[in-house]
Chain A
Protein backbone atom coordinates (compact mmCIF):
# COMPACT_ATOMS: atom_id res chain seq x y z
CA UNK A 1 0.00 0.00 0.00
CA UNK A 2 1.25 3.41 -0.89
CA UNK A 3 2.73 5.34 2.01
CA UNK A 4 1.63 8.72 0.76
CA UNK A 5 -1.96 7.70 0.23
CA UNK A 6 -2.24 6.04 3.62
CA UNK A 7 -0.86 9.03 5.41
CA UNK A 8 -3.19 11.33 3.59
CA UNK A 9 -6.03 9.00 4.38
CA UNK A 10 -5.18 8.78 8.08
CA UNK A 11 -4.99 12.53 8.36
CA UNK A 12 -8.25 12.79 6.53
CA UNK A 13 -9.96 10.30 8.83
CA UNK A 14 -8.67 12.09 11.88
CA UNK A 15 -9.82 15.45 10.59
CA UNK A 16 -13.22 14.25 9.62
CA UNK A 17 -13.74 12.47 12.90
CA UNK A 18 -12.63 15.49 14.85
CA UNK A 19 -14.96 17.77 13.00
CA UNK A 20 -17.72 15.20 13.25
CA UNK A 21 -18.50 15.52 9.60
CA UNK A 22 -21.00 13.16 8.09
CA UNK A 23 -19.23 13.40 4.75
CA UNK A 24 -22.41 13.67 2.85
CA UNK A 25 -24.16 10.72 4.42
CA UNK A 26 -27.48 12.03 5.67
CA UNK A 27 -28.02 9.28 8.27
CA UNK A 28 -25.38 10.69 10.56
CA UNK A 29 -27.55 13.45 11.85
CA UNK A 30 -24.52 15.67 12.28
CA UNK A 31 -23.50 18.85 10.58
CA UNK A 32 -22.74 18.08 6.94
CA UNK A 33 -19.75 19.22 5.04
CA UNK A 34 -21.41 21.83 2.87
CA UNK A 35 -18.42 22.89 0.81
CA UNK A 36 -15.52 21.21 -0.87
CA UNK A 37 -12.41 22.65 -2.40
CA UNK A 38 -11.04 21.30 -5.66
CA UNK A 39 -7.54 19.94 -4.96
CA UNK A 40 -6.55 20.77 -8.51
CA UNK A 41 -7.73 24.37 -9.03
CA UNK A 42 -8.69 25.36 -5.45
CA UNK A 43 -12.16 26.55 -6.41
CA UNK A 44 -14.73 26.01 -3.67
CA UNK A 45 -18.06 24.39 -4.51
CA UNK A 46 -21.12 23.45 -2.54
CA UNK A 47 -21.75 19.74 -2.16
CA UNK A 48 -24.96 20.15 -4.11
CA UNK A 49 -23.06 21.60 -7.06
CA UNK A 50 -20.58 18.75 -6.94
CA UNK A 51 -23.30 16.13 -6.73
CA UNK A 52 -25.02 17.68 -9.73
CA UNK A 53 -21.76 17.53 -11.68
CA UNK A 54 -21.13 13.86 -10.71
CA UNK A 55 -18.28 14.92 -8.43
CA UNK A 56 -16.34 16.44 -11.29
CA UNK A 57 -14.95 19.93 -10.75
CA UNK A 58 -17.13 22.25 -12.88
CA UNK A 59 -14.24 24.62 -13.43
CA UNK A 60 -11.27 22.32 -14.23
CA UNK A 61 -12.66 18.84 -14.76
CA UNK A 62 -10.87 17.27 -11.78
CA UNK A 63 -12.52 13.98 -10.85
CA UNK A 64 -13.16 13.92 -7.10
CA UNK A 65 -13.13 10.59 -5.32
CA UNK A 66 -16.53 9.04 -5.26
CA UNK A 67 -18.19 6.87 -2.63
CA UNK A 68 -19.62 3.49 -3.56
CA UNK A 69 -23.25 4.56 -3.45
CA UNK A 70 -22.63 7.77 -5.40
CA UNK A 71 -20.90 5.62 -8.01
CA UNK A 72 -23.81 3.23 -8.14
CA UNK A 73 -26.22 6.15 -8.60
CA UNK A 74 -24.01 7.39 -11.43
CA UNK A 75 -23.83 4.08 -13.30
CA UNK A 76 -26.88 1.96 -12.53
CA UNK A 77 -30.40 2.65 -13.76
CA UNK A 78 -32.35 4.37 -10.95
CA UNK A 79 -33.68 1.87 -8.42
CA UNK A 80 -32.22 -1.13 -10.21
CA UNK A 81 -29.34 -1.86 -7.84
CA UNK A 82 -29.91 -4.72 -5.40
CA UNK A 83 -26.99 -4.96 -3.02
CA UNK A 84 -25.68 -8.40 -2.05
CA UNK A 85 -23.77 -9.66 0.96
CA UNK A 86 -24.11 -6.15 2.41
CA UNK A 87 -23.77 -7.32 5.98
CA UNK A 88 -20.35 -8.96 5.66
CA UNK A 89 -17.79 -7.43 7.98
CA UNK A 90 -14.11 -8.08 8.62
CA UNK A 91 -12.65 -10.17 11.40
CA UNK A 92 -9.35 -9.41 13.08
CA UNK A 93 -7.60 -12.42 11.56
CA UNK A 94 -4.14 -11.64 12.95
CA UNK A 95 -5.35 -10.14 16.27
CA UNK A 96 -3.74 -6.96 15.07
CA UNK A 97 -3.76 -4.25 17.74
CA UNK A 98 -6.32 -1.49 17.17
CA UNK A 99 -7.64 -3.10 14.00
CA UNK A 100 -11.13 -3.42 15.50
CA UNK A 101 -11.04 0.30 16.27
CA UNK A 102 -9.80 1.11 12.75
CA UNK A 103 -12.67 -0.93 11.30
CA UNK A 104 -15.18 0.77 13.56
CA UNK A 105 -13.98 4.23 12.53
CA UNK A 106 -13.97 3.25 8.87
CA UNK A 107 -17.57 2.14 9.18
CA UNK A 108 -18.53 5.45 10.73
CA UNK A 109 -16.68 7.53 8.16
CA UNK A 110 -17.88 5.61 5.11
CA UNK A 111 -21.28 4.43 6.28
CA UNK A 112 -20.35 1.00 4.87
CA UNK A 113 -19.67 -2.39 6.46
CA UNK A 114 -16.63 -2.97 4.26
CA UNK A 115 -14.81 -1.31 1.39
CA UNK A 116 -16.49 -3.29 -1.40
CA UNK A 117 -20.14 -2.95 -2.36
CA UNK A 118 -21.68 -5.10 -5.07
CA UNK A 119 -25.00 -6.16 -6.43
CA UNK A 120 -27.18 -6.89 -9.37
CA UNK A 121 -28.44 -3.99 -11.45
CA UNK A 122 -29.21 -2.75 -14.92
CA UNK A 123 -27.14 -0.21 -16.86
CA UNK A 124 -29.04 1.40 -19.75
CA UNK A 125 -31.44 -1.55 -19.33
CA UNK A 126 -28.75 -4.21 -19.67
CA UNK A 127 -28.55 -6.56 -16.69
CA UNK A 128 -25.16 -6.71 -14.99
CA UNK A 129 -23.34 -7.18 -11.73
CA UNK A 130 -21.64 -4.02 -10.50
CA UNK A 131 -19.04 -3.79 -7.74
CA UNK A 132 -17.38 -0.70 -6.30
CA UNK A 133 -14.42 -0.27 -4.00
CA UNK A 134 -14.83 2.74 -1.76
CA UNK A 135 -11.59 4.48 -0.87
CA UNK A 136 -13.11 6.07 2.21
CA UNK A 137 -13.04 2.64 3.89
CA UNK A 138 -9.36 2.11 4.91
CA UNK A 139 -8.22 3.28 1.48
CA UNK A 140 -10.33 0.63 -0.26
CA UNK A 141 -7.72 -1.87 0.81
CA UNK A 142 -8.28 -5.56 0.10
CA UNK A 143 -8.37 -7.84 3.10
CA UNK A 144 -10.07 -11.20 3.48
CA UNK A 145 -13.62 -9.84 3.44
CA UNK A 146 -13.09 -7.52 0.49
CA UNK A 147 -11.38 -10.40 -1.35
CA UNK A 148 -14.27 -12.68 -0.46
CA UNK A 149 -16.92 -10.18 -1.59
CA UNK A 150 -15.11 -9.53 -4.86
CA UNK A 151 -14.93 -13.28 -5.41
CA UNK A 152 -18.64 -13.64 -4.59
CA UNK A 153 -19.48 -10.93 -7.12
CA UNK A 154 -17.46 -12.75 -9.78
CA UNK A 155 -19.11 -16.05 -8.93
CA UNK A 156 -22.58 -14.50 -8.95
CA UNK A 157 -21.94 -13.05 -12.41
CA UNK A 158 -20.68 -16.43 -13.57
CA UNK A 159 -23.67 -18.35 -12.21
CA UNK A 160 -26.16 -15.96 -13.76
CA UNK A 161 -24.22 -15.36 -16.97
CA UNK A 162 -24.12 -11.63 -16.37
CA UNK A 163 -21.44 -9.16 -17.33
CA UNK A 164 -19.38 -7.84 -14.43
CA UNK A 165 -18.28 -4.24 -13.96
CA UNK A 166 -15.92 -3.39 -11.13
CA UNK A 167 -14.83 0.13 -10.19
CA UNK A 168 -11.58 -0.18 -8.31
CA UNK A 169 -10.16 2.43 -5.96
CA UNK A 170 -7.64 1.00 -3.59
CA UNK A 171 -4.33 1.55 -1.87
CA UNK A 172 -3.65 -2.18 -2.25
CA UNK A 173 -3.66 -4.95 0.31
CA UNK A 174 -5.06 -4.43 3.81
CA UNK A 175 -1.98 -4.16 6.00
CA UNK A 176 -3.66 -5.26 9.22
CA UNK A 177 -4.43 -8.65 7.69
CA UNK A 178 -0.88 -9.36 6.57
CA UNK A 179 -0.28 -12.33 4.32
CA UNK A 180 -3.99 -13.25 4.44
CA UNK A 181 -4.57 -10.06 2.41
CA UNK A 182 -1.86 -11.06 -0.03
CA UNK A 183 -3.70 -14.32 -0.72
CA UNK A 184 -6.77 -12.37 -1.82
CA UNK A 185 -4.83 -11.47 -4.95
CA UNK A 186 -4.67 -15.17 -5.78
CA UNK A 187 -8.28 -15.82 -4.81
CA UNK A 188 -9.78 -12.99 -6.87
CA UNK A 189 -7.52 -13.63 -9.88
CA UNK A 190 -8.34 -17.34 -9.95
CA UNK A 191 -12.07 -16.58 -9.72
CA UNK A 192 -11.71 -14.11 -12.59
CA UNK A 193 -10.04 -16.76 -14.72
CA UNK A 194 -12.86 -19.25 -14.09
CA UNK A 195 -15.40 -16.55 -15.01
CA UNK A 196 -13.46 -15.72 -18.16
CA UNK A 197 -13.37 -19.38 -19.25
CA UNK A 198 -17.17 -19.43 -19.10
CA UNK A 199 -17.26 -16.52 -21.52
CA UNK A 200 -18.01 -13.93 -18.87
CA UNK A 201 -17.40 -10.28 -19.72
CA UNK A 202 -15.40 -8.29 -17.18
CA UNK A 203 -15.15 -4.53 -17.56
CA UNK A 204 -12.51 -3.26 -15.16
CA UNK A 205 -12.77 0.43 -14.41
CA UNK A 206 -9.79 1.94 -12.64
CA UNK A 207 -10.46 5.05 -10.60
CA UNK A 208 -8.31 7.22 -8.39
CA UNK A 209 -6.27 5.59 -6.94
CA UNK A 210 -5.79 1.97 -8.06
CA UNK A 211 -2.50 0.67 -6.74
CA UNK A 212 -0.64 -2.27 -5.23
CA UNK A 213 -2.25 -5.66 -4.83
CA UNK A 214 -5.53 -4.64 -6.43
CA UNK A 215 -3.86 -3.46 -9.62
CA UNK A 216 -1.62 -6.56 -9.57
CA UNK A 217 -4.59 -8.94 -9.43
CA UNK A 218 -8.19 -9.03 -10.68
CA UNK A 219 -8.27 -5.33 -11.71
CA UNK A 220 -5.68 -5.94 -14.44
CA UNK A 221 -7.58 -8.97 -15.78
CA UNK A 222 -10.40 -7.08 -17.48
CA UNK A 223 -11.50 -7.99 -20.98
CA UNK A 224 -11.84 -4.26 -21.25
CA UNK A 225 -9.94 -1.91 -18.97
CA UNK A 226 -11.22 1.64 -18.59
CA UNK A 227 -9.98 4.45 -16.38
CA UNK A 228 -11.22 7.82 -15.27
CA UNK A 229 -9.10 10.83 -16.27
CA UNK A 230 -6.19 11.75 -14.04
CA UNK A 231 -6.39 8.68 -11.78
CA UNK A 232 -3.27 7.44 -10.02
CA UNK A 233 -2.68 3.90 -11.28
CA UNK A 234 0.42 1.90 -10.44
CA UNK A 235 1.84 -1.08 -8.66
CA UNK A 236 4.35 0.71 -6.45
CA UNK A 237 3.36 3.96 -4.81
CA UNK A 238 5.01 7.16 -6.11
CA UNK A 239 6.71 7.84 -2.77
CA UNK A 240 8.25 4.38 -2.64
CA UNK A 241 9.57 4.78 -6.18
CA UNK A 242 11.01 8.21 -5.41
CA UNK A 243 12.76 6.83 -2.35
CA UNK A 244 14.12 3.89 -4.34
CA UNK A 245 15.43 5.78 -7.34
CA UNK A 246 16.39 8.90 -5.37
CA UNK A 247 14.77 11.39 -7.70
CA UNK A 248 11.47 13.09 -8.29
CA UNK A 249 9.01 11.46 -10.64
CA UNK A 250 8.11 13.26 -13.85
CA UNK A 251 4.81 15.09 -14.10
CA UNK A 252 1.99 12.81 -15.10
CA UNK A 253 3.79 9.57 -14.19
CA UNK A 254 1.38 6.73 -13.24
CA UNK A 255 -1.69 8.67 -14.38
CA UNK A 256 -4.45 7.19 -16.51
CA UNK A 257 -3.11 9.15 -19.47
CA UNK A 258 0.36 7.66 -18.93
CA UNK A 259 -1.02 4.13 -18.75
CA UNK A 260 -3.11 4.64 -21.88
CA UNK A 261 -0.03 5.73 -23.81
CA UNK A 262 1.88 2.71 -22.52
CA UNK A 263 -0.81 0.35 -23.71
CA UNK A 264 -2.38 -0.78 -20.45
CA UNK A 265 -5.84 0.73 -20.89
CA UNK A 266 -8.49 0.47 -23.58
CA UNK A 267 -9.88 3.93 -22.97
CA UNK A 268 -10.06 6.84 -20.60
CA UNK A 269 -13.67 7.73 -20.00
CA UNK A 270 -14.94 10.99 -18.53
CA UNK A 271 -17.29 10.43 -15.64
CA UNK A 272 -20.15 12.11 -17.48
CA UNK A 273 -19.86 9.53 -20.28
CA UNK A 274 -19.24 6.49 -18.13
CA UNK A 275 -22.79 5.18 -18.05
CA UNK A 276 -23.22 5.54 -21.81
CA UNK A 277 -19.90 3.91 -22.62
CA UNK A 278 -20.56 0.98 -20.30
CA UNK A 279 -24.07 0.66 -21.68
CA UNK A 280 -22.63 0.55 -25.18
CA UNK A 281 -20.08 -2.10 -24.20
CA UNK A 282 -22.83 -4.22 -22.64
CA UNK A 283 -24.92 -3.81 -25.78
CA UNK A 284 -22.03 -4.96 -27.96
CA UNK A 285 -21.52 -8.04 -25.81
CA UNK A 286 -25.10 -9.26 -25.65
CA UNK A 287 -24.84 -12.97 -26.27
CA UNK A 288 -28.10 -13.24 -28.15
CA UNK A 289 -26.88 -10.86 -30.87
CA UNK A 290 -24.23 -13.27 -32.06
CA UNK A 291 -26.35 -16.35 -31.39
CA UNK A 292 -29.39 -15.26 -33.41
CA UNK A 293 -27.78 -13.35 -36.25
CA UNK A 294 -28.74 -14.01 -39.85
CA UNK A 295 -29.20 -11.80 -42.85
Chain B
Protein backbone atom coordinates (compact mmCIF):
# COMPACT_ATOMS: atom_id res chain seq x y z
CA UNK B 1 0.00 0.00 0.00
CA UNK B 2 3.05 2.26 0.31
CA UNK B 3 2.95 3.26 -3.34
CA UNK B 4 -0.61 4.64 -3.38
CA UNK B 5 -0.88 8.35 -4.13
CA UNK B 6 -3.30 10.61 -2.30
CA UNK B 7 -5.48 10.56 -5.39
CA UNK B 8 -5.49 6.76 -5.47
CA UNK B 9 -6.69 6.80 -1.89
CA UNK B 10 -9.40 9.33 -2.73
CA UNK B 11 -10.60 6.87 -5.37
CA UNK B 12 -10.70 4.10 -2.79
CA UNK B 13 -12.45 6.34 -0.26
CA UNK B 14 -15.19 7.10 -2.77
CA UNK B 15 -15.80 3.53 -3.93
CA UNK B 16 -19.44 2.60 -3.76
CA UNK B 17 -18.60 -0.84 -2.30
CA UNK B 18 -16.55 0.57 0.55
CA UNK B 19 -18.03 -0.13 4.00
CA UNK B 20 -20.31 2.73 5.04
CA UNK B 21 -21.59 4.06 8.36
CA UNK B 22 -24.51 1.61 8.36
CA UNK B 23 -22.11 -1.32 7.85
CA UNK B 24 -20.05 -0.19 10.84
CA UNK B 25 -23.18 0.18 12.95
CA UNK B 26 -24.38 -3.31 12.03
CA UNK B 27 -21.08 -5.03 12.76
CA UNK B 28 -19.67 -3.09 15.73
CA UNK B 29 -22.80 -2.49 17.81
CA UNK B 30 -25.88 -4.32 19.07
CA UNK B 31 -29.41 -3.13 19.82
CA UNK B 32 -29.11 -0.10 17.53
CA UNK B 33 -32.19 2.04 17.38
CA UNK B 34 -32.35 4.99 15.05
CA UNK B 35 -33.75 8.28 16.32
CA UNK B 36 -34.77 10.83 13.77
CA UNK B 37 -35.63 14.45 13.26
CA UNK B 38 -34.36 17.84 14.41
CA UNK B 39 -37.65 18.76 16.15
CA UNK B 40 -37.66 21.93 14.16
CA UNK B 41 -37.97 21.43 10.43
CA UNK B 42 -37.31 17.90 9.24
CA UNK B 43 -35.29 14.74 9.22
CA UNK B 44 -32.13 14.68 7.18
CA UNK B 45 -31.46 11.31 5.58
CA UNK B 46 -27.82 12.21 5.02
CA UNK B 47 -27.22 11.93 8.76
CA UNK B 48 -27.97 8.83 10.77
CA UNK B 49 -28.25 9.01 14.54
CA UNK B 50 -29.32 6.73 17.32
CA UNK B 51 -28.38 4.74 20.35
CA UNK B 52 -26.82 1.27 20.57
CA UNK B 53 -24.77 -0.92 22.83
CA UNK B 54 -21.04 -1.08 22.29
CA UNK B 55 -19.86 -4.20 24.03
CA UNK B 56 -22.67 -3.69 26.51
CA UNK B 57 -22.13 0.06 26.97
CA UNK B 58 -24.89 2.42 25.78
CA UNK B 59 -23.47 4.88 23.25
CA UNK B 60 -24.87 7.47 20.89
CA UNK B 61 -23.94 7.01 17.24
CA UNK B 62 -23.87 9.79 14.65
CA UNK B 63 -22.68 9.54 11.10
CA UNK B 64 -23.01 10.57 7.51
CA UNK B 65 -25.13 8.13 5.57
CA UNK B 66 -24.17 7.14 2.05
CA UNK B 67 -25.82 4.43 0.00
CA UNK B 68 -24.20 1.43 -1.62
CA UNK B 69 -26.05 2.05 -4.89
CA UNK B 70 -27.28 5.07 -6.79
CA UNK B 71 -30.89 4.75 -5.64
CA UNK B 72 -29.95 4.69 -1.95
CA UNK B 73 -27.54 7.51 -2.56
CA UNK B 74 -30.26 9.70 -3.98
CA UNK B 75 -32.35 9.01 -0.88
CA UNK B 76 -29.57 10.08 1.45
CA UNK B 77 -28.35 12.89 -0.82
CA UNK B 78 -24.92 11.23 -1.28
CA UNK B 79 -24.11 11.86 2.37
CA UNK B 80 -24.35 15.64 2.03
CA UNK B 81 -26.29 17.01 5.01
CA UNK B 82 -28.67 19.93 5.20
CA UNK B 83 -28.87 22.04 8.38
CA UNK B 84 -31.48 19.63 9.75
CA UNK B 85 -28.83 16.91 9.85
CA UNK B 86 -26.56 19.02 12.02
CA UNK B 87 -29.44 20.07 14.24
CA UNK B 88 -30.49 16.45 14.67
CA UNK B 89 -26.92 15.71 15.65
CA UNK B 90 -26.96 18.52 18.22
CA UNK B 91 -30.16 17.18 19.67
CA UNK B 92 -28.81 13.66 19.96
CA UNK B 93 -25.44 14.82 21.28
CA UNK B 94 -27.13 16.82 24.06
CA UNK B 95 -29.21 13.77 24.85
CA UNK B 96 -26.02 11.70 25.03
CA UNK B 97 -24.59 14.21 27.49
CA UNK B 98 -27.73 14.12 29.61
CA UNK B 99 -27.62 10.33 29.89
CA UNK B 100 -23.83 10.12 30.16
CA UNK B 101 -23.37 8.17 26.95
CA UNK B 102 -20.17 8.42 24.90
CA UNK B 103 -20.65 9.57 21.31
CA UNK B 104 -19.13 7.74 18.36
CA UNK B 105 -19.15 9.56 15.02
CA UNK B 106 -18.52 8.24 11.53
CA UNK B 107 -17.38 10.78 8.95
CA UNK B 108 -18.10 10.03 5.30
CA UNK B 109 -19.23 13.03 3.26
CA UNK B 110 -18.14 15.06 0.25
CA UNK B 111 -19.31 18.07 2.29
CA UNK B 112 -22.41 19.85 3.49
CA UNK B 113 -24.96 20.24 0.70
CA UNK B 114 -24.57 23.47 -1.30
CA UNK B 115 -28.21 24.24 -2.10
CA UNK B 116 -30.75 27.00 -1.75
CA UNK B 117 -32.80 25.32 1.01
CA UNK B 118 -29.65 24.55 2.97
CA UNK B 119 -28.59 28.19 2.83
CA UNK B 120 -32.06 29.50 3.62
CA UNK B 121 -32.16 27.38 6.75
CA UNK B 122 -28.70 28.36 7.93
CA UNK B 123 -26.10 25.80 6.92
CA UNK B 124 -23.30 27.94 8.32
CA UNK B 125 -25.08 28.51 11.60
CA UNK B 126 -25.94 24.82 11.97
CA UNK B 127 -22.36 23.68 11.40
CA UNK B 128 -20.96 26.35 13.72
CA UNK B 129 -23.35 25.30 16.49
CA UNK B 130 -22.41 21.67 16.01
CA UNK B 131 -18.69 22.38 16.22
CA UNK B 132 -19.13 24.58 19.28
CA UNK B 133 -21.31 22.00 21.02
CA UNK B 134 -18.88 19.14 20.48
CA UNK B 135 -16.00 21.28 21.70
CA UNK B 136 -17.53 21.24 25.18
CA UNK B 137 -19.62 18.08 25.25
CA UNK B 138 -19.19 16.44 28.64
CA UNK B 139 -18.97 12.83 27.46
CA UNK B 140 -16.20 11.01 25.59
CA UNK B 141 -16.34 11.58 21.84
CA UNK B 142 -14.62 9.40 19.26
CA UNK B 143 -14.71 10.29 15.60
CA UNK B 144 -13.72 7.94 12.78
CA UNK B 145 -13.06 9.17 9.24
CA UNK B 146 -14.11 6.14 7.21
CA UNK B 147 -14.32 7.56 3.68
CA UNK B 148 -14.20 11.12 2.41
CA UNK B 149 -14.14 13.85 5.02
CA UNK B 150 -15.07 16.99 3.12
CA UNK B 151 -14.75 20.47 4.65
CA UNK B 152 -16.84 21.95 7.45
CA UNK B 153 -19.57 19.42 6.75
CA UNK B 154 -17.15 16.73 7.95
CA UNK B 155 -15.59 18.72 10.77
CA UNK B 156 -19.05 19.13 12.30
CA UNK B 157 -18.66 15.47 13.37
CA UNK B 158 -14.92 15.70 13.84
CA UNK B 159 -14.40 17.63 17.07
CA UNK B 160 -13.56 14.69 19.30
CA UNK B 161 -11.28 13.39 22.04
CA UNK B 162 -9.89 10.91 19.55
CA UNK B 163 -10.03 11.33 15.79
CA UNK B 164 -9.25 8.03 14.08
CA UNK B 165 -8.81 7.69 10.37
CA UNK B 166 -8.79 4.72 8.08
CA UNK B 167 -5.69 4.27 5.98
CA UNK B 168 -7.34 5.15 2.65
CA UNK B 169 -9.72 7.78 3.92
CA UNK B 170 -9.11 11.44 3.05
CA UNK B 171 -9.92 14.51 5.12
CA UNK B 172 -9.80 17.73 3.18
CA UNK B 173 -10.73 21.36 3.14
CA UNK B 174 -12.77 20.93 -0.03
CA UNK B 175 -12.89 18.37 -2.82
CA UNK B 176 -9.65 18.17 -4.83
CA UNK B 177 -11.75 18.88 -7.94
CA UNK B 178 -13.06 22.07 -6.38
CA UNK B 179 -9.60 22.96 -5.15
CA UNK B 180 -8.10 22.51 -8.63
CA UNK B 181 -10.81 24.49 -10.33
CA UNK B 182 -10.35 27.37 -7.91
CA UNK B 183 -6.55 27.46 -7.99
CA UNK B 184 -5.91 26.51 -11.62
CA UNK B 185 -9.39 26.72 -13.16
CA UNK B 186 -9.08 23.11 -14.22
CA UNK B 187 -10.81 20.42 -12.22
CA UNK B 188 -8.91 17.73 -14.13
CA UNK B 189 -5.86 18.65 -12.09
CA UNK B 190 -7.49 17.02 -9.06
CA UNK B 191 -4.64 14.51 -8.90
CA UNK B 192 -2.09 17.27 -8.36
CA UNK B 193 -4.40 19.15 -5.99
CA UNK B 194 -4.87 16.02 -3.93
CA UNK B 195 -1.14 15.58 -3.46
CA UNK B 196 -0.61 19.22 -2.44
CA UNK B 197 -3.54 19.30 -0.03
CA UNK B 198 -2.01 16.54 2.11
CA UNK B 199 -5.37 14.99 2.97
CA UNK B 200 -4.32 11.39 3.70
CA UNK B 201 -4.30 9.72 7.08
CA UNK B 202 -0.49 9.58 7.00
CA UNK B 203 -0.25 13.32 6.25
CA UNK B 204 -2.72 14.27 8.95
CA UNK B 205 -1.10 12.02 11.53
CA UNK B 206 2.18 13.83 10.90
CA UNK B 207 0.42 17.20 11.17
CA UNK B 208 -1.09 16.17 14.51
CA UNK B 209 -4.65 16.60 13.24
CA UNK B 210 -5.69 12.97 13.75
CA UNK B 211 -4.77 10.68 16.61
CA UNK B 212 -4.49 7.30 14.91
CA UNK B 213 -4.27 5.70 11.50
CA UNK B 214 -6.18 2.44 11.12
CA UNK B 215 -4.67 0.04 8.57
CA UNK B 216 -6.94 -1.43 5.93
CA UNK B 217 -6.87 -4.84 4.29
CA UNK B 218 -4.56 -5.26 1.28
CA UNK B 219 -6.15 -3.47 -1.67
CA UNK B 220 -8.50 -1.36 0.46
CA UNK B 221 -11.43 -1.77 2.83
CA UNK B 222 -13.78 -2.99 0.10
CA UNK B 223 -11.61 -6.09 -0.42
CA UNK B 224 -12.57 -7.36 3.02
CA UNK B 225 -15.13 -5.07 4.66
CA UNK B 226 -15.53 -7.20 7.78
CA UNK B 227 -11.81 -7.20 8.46
CA UNK B 228 -11.69 -3.42 7.83
CA UNK B 229 -14.55 -2.80 10.26
CA UNK B 230 -12.94 -5.08 12.83
CA UNK B 231 -9.71 -3.12 12.82
CA UNK B 232 -11.69 0.09 13.35
CA UNK B 233 -13.52 -1.69 16.14
CA UNK B 234 -10.26 -2.62 17.88
CA UNK B 235 -9.01 0.97 17.75
CA UNK B 236 -12.34 2.38 18.98
CA UNK B 237 -12.25 -0.10 21.85
CA UNK B 238 -8.70 0.92 22.82
CA UNK B 239 -9.55 4.63 22.67
CA UNK B 240 -12.83 4.32 24.49
CA UNK B 241 -11.37 2.29 27.35
CA UNK B 242 -8.78 5.03 27.94
CA UNK B 243 -11.35 7.85 27.70
CA UNK B 244 -13.86 6.16 29.98
CA UNK B 245 -11.29 6.16 32.79
CA UNK B 246 -10.87 9.95 32.66
CA UNK B 247 -13.04 12.21 34.75
CA UNK B 248 -15.17 14.51 32.63
CA UNK B 249 -13.38 17.68 33.66
CA UNK B 250 -10.02 16.31 32.54
CA UNK B 251 -11.60 14.94 29.40
CA UNK B 252 -13.06 18.26 28.31
CA UNK B 253 -9.94 20.16 29.35
CA UNK B 254 -7.76 17.87 27.26
CA UNK B 255 -10.05 18.18 24.25
CA UNK B 256 -10.00 21.95 24.65
CA UNK B 257 -6.22 21.99 24.81
CA UNK B 258 -5.91 19.74 21.78
CA UNK B 259 -7.92 22.08 19.56
CA UNK B 260 -6.40 25.18 21.10
CA UNK B 261 -3.01 24.00 19.90
CA UNK B 262 -4.06 23.15 16.35
CA UNK B 263 -1.89 25.34 14.16
CA UNK B 264 -0.91 27.59 17.04
CA UNK B 265 2.39 29.39 16.92
CA UNK B 266 3.80 26.94 19.46
CA UNK B 267 2.87 23.75 17.60
CA UNK B 268 3.83 25.15 14.22
CA UNK B 269 7.30 26.15 15.37
CA UNK B 270 7.77 22.67 16.86
CA UNK B 271 6.83 21.19 13.49
CA UNK B 272 9.33 23.37 11.67
CA UNK B 273 12.11 22.28 14.01
CA UNK B 274 11.42 18.58 13.52
Contacts and interface: CB of A to CB of B under 8 A. Distances in A.
Contact of A220 (B129, B159, B179, B183): B129
A191 interface: yes
A151 interface: yes
B128 A240 contact: no
A241 interface: yes
A187 B263 contact: yes
Contacts of B112: 216, 235-236
B115 A241 contact: yes
A88 B265 contact: yes
A182 B179 contact: no
A175 B194 CA distance: 12
B204 to A, nearest CB: 6
B247 interface: no
Interface stretch (A50-58, A65-73, A93-101): A93-101
A205 to B, nearest CB: 15
A288 interface: no
Interface residues of A, number: 62
B198 A217 contact: no
A253 B119 CA distance: 9
B128 A180 contact: no
Nearest to B125: A220
A270 B185 CA distance: 36
Contacts of A221: 128-129, 132
Contacts of A17: none
B74 to A, nearest CB: 14
Contacts of B30: none
A60 to B, nearest CB: 26
A34 interface: no
Given A178-B197, A240-B114, A144 B123 contact: no
Interface in B98-115: 112-115
Contact of A186 (B118, B123, B262, B264): B262
B151 A182 contact: yes
A142 to B, nearest CB: 10
A219 interface: yes
Interface in A190-222: 190-194, 197, 212-213, 215-221
B73 to A, nearest CB: 15
A215 B199 CA distance: 23
Contacts of A7: 182, 185
A181 B263 CA distance: 8
A175 B173 contact: yes
A182 B173 CA distance: 6
A179 B199 contact: yes
B43 interface: no
A284 interface: no
B120 interface: yes
A12 interface: no
A189 B116 contact: no
Contacts of A175: 173-174, 179, 182-183
Interface in A131-180: 143-145, 147-148, 151, 173, 175, 177-180
B132 to A, nearest CB: 4
Contacts of B262: 144, 147, 180, 183-184, 186-187
B259 A187 contact: yes
Interface residues of B, number: 53
A88 B268 CA distance: 12
Given A190-B136, A215-B128, A253-B119, A179 B179 contact: no
A35 interface: no
Contacts of B203: 179
A180 B198 CA distance: 10
A274 B264 CA distance: 32
B121 A262 contact: yes
Most chain B CB inside 10 Å of its own CB: which residue of A178, A221, A240:
A178
Contact of A1 (B115, B128, B182): B182
B272 interface: yes
A268 interface: no
A215 B128 CA distance: 8
A244 interface: yes
Nearest to A183: B262
Contacts of A197: 136
A138 to B, nearest CB: 12
Nearest to B151: A182
Contacts of A86: none
Contact of B181 (A3, A212, A216): A3
Contacts of A190: 131-132, 135-136, 159, 256, 259-260
Contact of B209 (A183, A189, A216): A183
A218 B183 CA distance: 26
Contact of B119 (A178, A193, A213, A234): A234
Interface in A256-273: 258, 262-264
A86 to B, nearest CB: 14
Q: Which 6 A-B pairs have the closest CB atoms?
A: A144-B263, A236-B114, A190-B135, A215-B124, A220-B128, A235-B124
8 contacts: A94-B197, A151-B260, A173-B174, A178-B173, A187-B259, A250-B116, A262-B120, A262-B122
